[in-house]
Structures are given as C-alpha cells and as structure tokens.
Amino acid sequence: MLEKDGEALLSDPELSRTVSDLRKRINSPASCRVAERMVEEIMKKEKVKNPMDMRAEDFNQSCEHYLREDLRKKQMAEGMTILEEELFQLDLWALFRDPACKDLLFSILEQGSASDFFALNKNSLLDETAKEDVLAKMIQLIVLTVGRNMELPI
C-alpha cells in the first residue's frame, strides 16, 4: 500500500531506502535483528559457521570485544564523518555569513579552519590518543556547531 499510494513520495531516494528497509524487515525479520547481525559478525571474525561451535567463554569474550572495540570504532568512524561535514559547514557559515561565528571560531583555534583542525587530529581522536588541548578545542567546536544548528530554521 505504501509503495502504491506513495509512489510520488518514493522518488526521494532517502524515503525509497526507508521503505525498502521496512519491506526487508517485514519479509525477513530474523535477519534484521541486531543480535542476529552481531552474531554473524562474530562468527565471521572467529571463522566459525555456527556460534555453537565455540566454547561459551570464547563466544562471550568475542561478543564483549565486538561491542567494546569493533562496533564502537565503527560508530565512532560514522560519527566522525558526520562531524567532518558539520565542521565544513561551520567554516562556510563563519566565512560567508556570520562574523560573530568567525570571531568565535578564531577564539577557539586562533588560526586555520575547523575542517583543517579536524583533519589534522582525526586519527588521534579515533585512536583515542588526542591530547587534552585538542579534546578541549573539539568540544568547543562541537558546542559551536550545535549552537549554530539550533539557530537555523528547519
């Protein structure tokens, strides 16, 4: 019904992907469960075909490692991609639209752009070796970005 009645709306790629995902979840719910996907990732990494082929202790350790390391790193990388785009937009906003934002950016970084600062420190942020001053500046940049986004009309 959604696909038939909402055909015009589905020309939007994002809505089309959402409906496609919904169809997949309806037709094969087991393969869409988070637990199922997690177990599949663990089996792939451990090179086993069935989780029952592993000792319970080993499986539990693999689960913990997956959650604490693999999934966390994947989500961090996804977040960094979004943050990178937001900082690029912040630079544009400060440069062309808002002198007050430009002044705030200068007070945080003193020189250079938010995008350049992020690119320079991205790896140390991802591998959790960033120095305290870098973390403080990143927090300030994130607060500035959130503040700017809250002011924009939706």
Whole-Å CA distances, 35 to 55, 76, 80, 137 = 18, 20, 25, 37
SS3 1: coil
Question: pLDDT digits over 59-91, tens only?
Answer: 999 999 998 888 888 999 999 999 999 999 999
User: Tokens standing for 30?
Assistant: 């087991």
Tally of CB atoms within 10 A around 117: 20
104 within 8 A of 144, measured Cβ to Cβ: yes
* pLDDT tens track for 34-67: 788 888 888 888 899 988 888 999 999 999 999 8
